Amino acid sequence: MAGIKKVEPGYAGGRTKSPTYEQVCSGTTGHAEVIKLWFDPSETTYERVLRTFFKAHDPTTLNRQGGDTGTQYRSAIYYDNDEQRETAQKLIEELNKSGTFASPIVTEVTAGEGVKDDFLYYTAETYHHDYYKRNPAQGYCRAVIKPKLSKLGLRF
């Protein structure tokens, strides 16, 4: 996506320090599977990034994405400042009023690294980085990731 400089898979929002993928999948760490991204504000806006986020997944299902269930699959935005929080909350309000989704958005909007001193974020294990690029023929990639990329007009 234009303006996105770096994307990193990770785990955030929980209470376990340095969790493994297996621990996060157990649903006992409190962490969500997340991506951390860096963008160039001269090329894109935070709102545009959020609009893509909402288009890329179902923000109306609590603790679930497709066939994956558990708190680790919750829809979450971890903001770095008050401006980001306000942008996220206004966009959620706009999308709810517009009827874009059949059900209300349940995405949590929570203070992240730049705001909350005890916020925990951990980079995922190396094998999660560039997963689709390295495993395009894998079943999950073909069935879930590729259709999402197509929906967003992105190709690999």
**HEC profile for the chain?**
CCCEEEEEEEEECCCCCCCCHHHHHCCCCCCEEEEEEEECCCCCCHHHHHHHHHHHCCCCCCCEECCEECHHHCCEEEECCHHHHHHHHHHHHHHHHHCCCCCCCCCEEEECCCCCCCCCEEECCHHHCCHHHHCCCCHHHHHHHHHHHHHCCCCC
Average pLDDT over residues 45-73: 95
Q: Residue 91 is part of which domain span?
A: 4-124
Give the pairing type, strands 108-111 and 4-12: unpaired
CATH number for the domain including 54? 3.30.1060.10
87 and 19 inside one domain: yes
Domain count, the chain: 2
Mean pLDDT of the chain, nearest integer: 95
Q: Specify whether 120 is located in the same domain as 43.
A: yes
What gap in Å lies between CA 98 and CA 114, rounded to an integer?
A: 31
The yes-or-no verdict on residue 117 having pLDDT over 90 is no
Residues 135 and 83 grouped into a single domain: no
The confidence score (pLDDT) of residue 113 equals 87
Give the pTM. Answer: 0.93
* 118 shares its domain with 155: no
Over residues 16-52, the pLDDT tens digits come to 999 999 999 999 999 999 999 999 999 999 999 999 9
- Residues 147, 79 share a domain: no
